[in-house]
Structure 1
Amino acid sequence: MFTRAELLSAAFDRADAPGTVDACVHHLRRKLGRQVVRTVHGLGYRLGAE
């Protein structure tokens, strides 16, 4: 499981744009399916089934 802040700091230079992570997750879900990238409400994102 990864928090939005962890993904932002690991993948992007700008740490002030949390919407960037949301947009990337949205595009990943469109390409890979909703079951691959799961949201853990209040915590972050997880790969795979719950």
Structure 2
Amino acid sequence: MWSQNSRKQKGKRGKNNSKRNTLLSFFLFSFLLLFFFLFFFSLFFAGA
């Protein structure tokens, strides 16, 4: 019973922070994408 209550509270907290979490994940994904493109372009220019 106690574990169920704690799980419910966690779900509520997650729902409240879902917007901020998605924004953070989006920024992280965009940063990784930018890093990948920089790495790819550096390899391309090094090869050329």
* TM-score in terms of structure 2 length: 0.33
* TM-score in terms of structure 1 length: 0.32
Between Structure 1 and Structure 2, which shows a larger proportion of helix residues?
2
Between Structure 1 and Structure 2, which shows a larger proportion of strand residues?
1
Structure number with higher relative contact order (C-alpha < 8 Å, ≥ 6 residues apart): 1
